[in-house]
Amino acid sequence: MKQRILIADDIDPIFIKQVEAAGYQCDYQPLIKLDQALQIIGDYEGLVIRSKFNVDRQVIDAGEKLRFIARAGAGLDNIDEAYAGSKNIQLINASEGNMDAVGEHCVGLLLALMNHFNTADAEIRAGQWKREANRGYELKGKTVGIIGYGFMGRSFAKKLSGFEVNVIAYDKYKTGFSDKYAREVSMEEIVKHSDVLSLHIPLTAETNGMVNDEYLFHFKKPIFFINASRGKVAKISAILNAIKEGKILGAGLDVLEVEKFPALGEQVWFDELRQSGKVILTPHVAGWTFDSYRRISEVMASKLIALNLI
Residues annotated catalytic, as ranges: 230, 259, 284
How does DSSP classify residue 228? -
C-alpha 38: how far from its chain's center?
A: 28
Distance CA(239)–CA(242), nearest Å, equals 5
Kindly write down the DSSP assignment for every residue of 135-161, as one continuous string. Answer: -----TT-EEEEE--SHHHHHHHHHGG
Radius of gyration for the alpha carbons in the chain, expressed in angstroms and rounded: 21
For the CA atoms of 64, 66, 70, 76, the dihedral, rounded to the nearest 10 degrees, stands at 40
Evaluate whether 199 touches 226 at the Cβ level (below 8 Å): yes
- The per-type count for the chain, helices as H runs and strands as E runs, is 12, 12
Distance CA(133)–CA(116), nearest Å, equals 9
Distance CA(98)–CA(92), nearest Å, equals 14
